Structure 1
Amino acid sequence: MEGLYNFLVTLDGLLGGAGWFPFVLLGVGLFFTIYLKFPQIRFFKHAWLVVTGKFDHKGDPGDTTHFRALTTALSGTVGTGNISGVAFAIFLGGPAALFWMWATAFLGMTTKFVEVTLSHKYRVQTEDGTMAGGPMYYMDRRLNMKWLAVAFAIATVISSFGTGNLPQSNGIAQSIEATFGFEPMVVGSVLAILLALVILGGIQRIAAVTAKVVPLMAVVYLIGAFAVIFANLENIGPSFMAVISDAFTGSAAAGGFLGASLAYAFNRGVNRGLFSNEAGQGSAPIAHAAAKTKEPASEGMVSLLEPFIDTIMICTITGLVILSSGVWKEKHENNFDRADMYFVAGQYSDKDQADVNALYGYLNDEEGNAVLPYTGTISVVNGTAVSSGFTLLNARSVAEDVTYSVGSEDPFTGTLEIKDGKPVKENLEVTGKSLVHSAALTTIAFTRGLFGDFGQYIVSVGLMLFAFSTAIAWSYYGDRAMTYLLGPRSVMPYRVIYVAGFWWAAFSDTTLVWAMSAVAIVVMTLPNLFGIMLLSKEMKQTVNDYWNRVHK
């Protein structure tokens, strides 16, 4: 698994983690925002009217209403990205990362408007009478780029696991284990059965379930979030100021947080913003293709609400909970994931500014930093290291009160071999105090509010609802892609594998799952961005024609 993780990290470094990717993503959004004269502002009110059904016409082709198409698409985006993803972004980039999530969402509102409009325009009716759409259809039917359509559809299937399946299941299991103590394998088994019962019913059942679950989960989560915000009201202003002031400088060291450069915060904020709202990824158009309307532009306007609701509203609230409570810079007792641990040569303390500066350079990949991976042996007696010459970093922080065990709960005594910063022994278990990230960080933050420790249950229930609804929506995206690639008969085998993956991810390594999702997102996004840029003139004409007719 460690070899796979290293490969995925390398691949992500060439794709989503590369310096060019955020500029491509934001650049496309910025281009369309200017080219279409700020549609996220101009059409914002009209989009809400379309959702309410004001412009509906009886007999319009499609499988579901605007509202249900919106909730299905929202269920695909409102998931672990809003709970785990925001926490992960702040953990990596500090408060500055939240600003870049906002920027991604604002420009993403336009990107989603464009991709949904074009995809809806070229949707088709399948053999079983249901509608099928998505970027693969405009790539095929309009651009005559069958190869690009096939590449996108394959990427959609892969991304259905990397975005909608594996990290969702993992996030649920992690939170429920931390809160209730249930074994992840048991949680995964129960949820996999429930998932199978829903997705076998197709889009009608999926839309019906998400239309009920999405509003419910939003209410539950917001109640818990505002309980924390009100309890830490005096920190809201400083939290906002930190987000804004750090946006163009990077975040300085604070507590156990060793700081993040501007480039790192920018990259991780944009990356997590995309994971949260999926603008440009091409997933939402698949759900919106089922909407009953003859007007592609009207459904595109409905879709621009998604990044607003998902990122600008829900992610901001999560970010304020984490920042105002202060848990993002505190060390907490936890079990260290192997991929999060790094042994470095020399002894460092986060209480010494010179050491903090050195570790900052190491964590932010600055050239010329003097910190090197540790290679050698460590003597351990009753679970405690008695030798020196090294420092253990876990979750980008200096680990404290570290205890070692091997294959059991009994403290380890003996010698541990470390090579290039990583322990050689495979079944080494390490616990101690360090920063935490993902769902665990949000869960801790929710205990710092009016509900006290009860707040963790709200996160667990909210995460379960958020993530489960995301998995439902993404199963639909994947089966539409399989329908395009291999026909309706391929859908059932895909669903079986999808459910099996959902079960497996519940007890797999958290860091590995996030690495898989990071790669899958970019593999799906790039072909879609390329395609919508080629159709920019047609997009403008389609929107103008619709707007002129509606406002006669």
Structure 2
Amino acid sequence: MEALLNFFSAMSSLVWGPPMLILLLGTGVYLTIRLKGITLSKIPYAISLIFKEDNESEGDVSAFEALATALSSTIGTGNIAGVATAIAVGGPGAALWMWIAAIVGTATKFAEGVLAVKYRVKNEDGEMAGGPMYYIQEGLGQKWKPLSIFFAACGVMVAWLGIGATVQANSMADALQANFGISPIVTGVVMAALVGMVVLGGIKRIAKVASKIVPLMSAIYILGTLYIILTNIVELPAAISLIVKSAFSGQSAIGGFAGAGVMLAIRKGISRGIFSNEAGLGSAPIAHAAAKTNNPVRQGLIAMLGTFIDTIIICSLTTLTIIMTGVWNSGETGAALTTKAFNVGMPGPGGLVIGIGIIFFAFSTALGWCYYGEKCIEYLLGHKAIKPYKFIYILCVLLGATVKLELIWAISDVVNGLMALPNLVALLGLSGIVISLTKEYFNNTATNGKDQAEHIA
């Protein structure tokens, strides 16, 4: 086990090295510039689109349900455990790099949503299927199909051994054992049964469950963090100052004040941010491809809200809670660090809020990632492979509850990075299509009742 952990840790350092960070940030910066910043200026307009039904268009779920499904796989352990790990290992400065990655990541997520709807297809059951494997093959051309196959294969691995089944089951098992003394084996059995009941019903059942769980638990978690931040509001200026200063000094909690260097803060901030919001990973467009819509740009605008909600709002609140309660350098890491912050900031119910939050977030994330992996396996092996895939997924949930956490995180980092590579290549190669469609949309659409044409070069 130790040898495996060392191997995947070394692979993680290689995959998430400077080339990957430059590619991720560079893609987001490039798209943000090409789009003239509309992924930031049009956030209010994008929010208004969520509540506009488009039942006459083709698709399997509403725009809101598609966003909820995408958020179900991003708002999870990455917001609670992943952010805490980034701060503990990379220092408070990791938060600044996480924010920077998220700001440009809205453009990345927008492009993913646009291309997902543009190149989606109908499968033999009449359901929509889309995502990077389709826009790589159809957009870049058949000669790029090996890249589509590589992405889909990585997607299945992430679902089984990465963000999907194992990480979520492990996080839920830890939370239930710490807060209620429930055995991880019991957690694994129950979670596997509940996941199975939902995912065997397909995207419509997943979307309906996600659209109930995600808003409720997000609201509870946000209210909890806001309570702690407001009751410690005098610490806010110092917390912001610490984040900014340590972003360039490499100050970390683990390893003392000498830290592990600025590069570690950057790497942890970006990698954990991507783990949380999945911008550039290529997962969210699989969900957005199922939306009822007649325009790719419309869904792209809704898709980009996922990064804003996940990282700019929820991850930021987690970061401030940990730093403002003064526990960031306590020696704890992961969910234990966030739990400690809640216990300090909200004595009594604080730990329970985190425990329940992890349970529901982990469950919803497991649902969303099962669907992503399903579409990837369908692309690789056809419709007949979906049921066997789902049964293996449920088995991974069961096993994940009892596997060593450090190994799971190391595996997750590696497969996440490998999955991002083909998607980023496609986003850059098809950026001209995204710009063209966006220009056409804003030149012909009245925004909020007014003619606000956007001219994008």
TM-score normalised to structure 1 length: 0.78
Q: Distance in 1 between matches of 2:258 and 2:402?
A: 30
The answer on whether the counterparts of 1:175 and 1:443 sit within 8 Å (CA) in structure 2 is no
Name the counterpart of 2:336: 440
Question: In proportion to residue count, which structure has more helix?
Answer: 2
- The one-letter amino acid paired with 1:265 is A
Residue 164 of structure 2 aligns to a residue whose secondary structure is coil
Q: Percent identity?
A: 43
2:61 to 64, 72, 76: 64
- Match in the other structure for 1:164: 164
Within a 5 Å distance, the mapping from 1:200-215 to structure 2 comes to: 200-215=200-215
1:462, 1:253 → 2: CA distance? 25
- AA matched with 2:43: F
Identify if the C-alpha distance between structure 1 residues 252 and 168 changes in structure 2 by more than 3 Å, giving closer, same or farther: closer
The equivalent of 1:387 in structure 2 is none
Cα distance per residue 1:101-158 (max 9 Å; x no partner): 1011101000000111112100001001111000111111221221111111111111
Query: Structure 1 residues 540 and 174 mapped into 2: Cα distance closer, same or farther (>3 Å)?
Result: same
Matched ranges for 1:129-168 at <5 A: 129-144=126-141, 145-161=144-160, 162-168=162-168
- Alignment-mate amino acid for residue 36 of structure 1: L
Whether the 8 Å CA contact 2:46–2:301 is kept in 1: the answer is yes
Asked if structure 2 preserves the Cα contact closer than 8 Å seen for 1:231 and 1:448, the reply is no
| Cα 1:43–1:231 shift into 2, 3 Å | closer
Output one character per residue of 1:323-343: Cα deviation in whole Å (capped at 9) or x when no partner. 11112212xxxxxxxxxxxxx
| 5+ long unaligned stretches in structure 1 | 331-434
Question: C-alpha separation between the residues in 1 aligned to 2:175 and 2:252?
Answer: 29
What is the Cα deviation at residue 23 of structure 1?
Answer: 1.2
Deviation, 1:22, is 1.0
The 5 A counterparts of 1:485-496 are 485-496=380-391
Task: Kindly indicate whether the alpha-carbon contact (under 8 Å) linking 2:54 and 2:62 is maintained by their aligned counterparts in 1.
Answer: no
Name whichever of 94-103 and 56-65 sits farther off: 56-65
Provide the residue aligned with 1:23 in structure 2: 22
Alpha-carbon deviation of 1:58? 4.1
Q: Secondary structure at the match of 1:327?
A: coil
Question: Which deviates the most, 168-177 or 516-525?
Answer: 168-177
The question of 1:544 aligning with 2:418 is answered no
CA RMSD of aligned residues (A): 1.5
Does the 8 Å CA contact 1:297/1:543 hold for their aligned counterparts? yes
Residue aligning to 1:518: 413
Whole-angstrom distance in 1 between the partners of 2:207 and 2:253: 45
2:226 paired residue number: 226
Q: Secondary structure at the match of 1:453?
A: coil
| 1:338-377 mapped onto 2 (5 Å cutoff) | none
1:282 aligned partner: 282
Shift of 1:472: 0.2
Q: Following the alignment from structure 2 to structure 1, what is the Cα–Cα distance between the partners of residues 27 and 410?
A: 24
> 2: distance between equivalents of 1:232 and 1:178?
26
Distance 2:172 2:252 in 1: 31
Aligned-residue offset at 1:256: 6.0
Contact 2:253 2:328 in 1 (8 A): no
- Equivalent in 87, 94, 115 of residue 97 of structure 1: 94
- Separation in structure 2 between the aligned mates of residue 253 and residue 468 of structure 1, nearest angstrom: 30
Q: Which runs of structure 2 are paired with 1:256-335 in the superposition (5 Å)?
A: 259-330=259-330
Aligned to 2:455: none
Q: Return the alpha-carbon distance in structure 1 between the equivalents of residues 255 and 69 of structure 2.
A: 40
Matches within 5 A, 1:162-201: 162-201=162-201
**Could you tell me how far 1:14 is from its partner in structure 2?**
1.6
SS of the aligned residue for 1:248 comes to coil
Q: Distance in 2 between matches of 1:533 and 1:68?
A: 28
CA separation of 1:147 and 1:274: change in aligned 2, threshold 3 A: same
Higher relative contact order (CA 8 A, sep 6+): 2
Q: Distance in 2 between matches of 1:489 and 1:110?
A: 35
Q: How big is each residue's C-alpha offset from its partner over 1:317-369, in whole Å with a ceiling of 9 and x where there is no partner?
A: 00111111112212xxxxxxxxxxxxxxxxxxxxxxxxxxxxxxxxxxxxxxx
Partner Cα distance (1:142, 1:24) in 2 = 20
CA contact (8 A) 1:5 1:512 kept: yes
Q: Equivalent residue for 1:42?
A: 41
Gapped regions of structure 2 (runs ≥ 5): 452-457
Tell me, in whole angstroms, the C-alpha distance in 1 between the residues paired with 2:317 and 2:55: 38
Kindly tell me the number of residue pairs found equivalent between the two proteins: 444
Matched to 1:185, the amino acid is I
- SS class of match (1:304): helix
1:120 pairs with 117, 120, 135, which one?
A: 117
Paired residues of 1:123 and 1:289 also in contact (CA < 8 A):
yes
The yes-or-no answer on 1:52 pairing with 2:51 is yes
Match of 2:424 in 1: 529
Cα pair 1:230 1:449 within 8 Å, conserved: no
- Contact 1:83-1:439 at 8 Å conserved across structures: yes
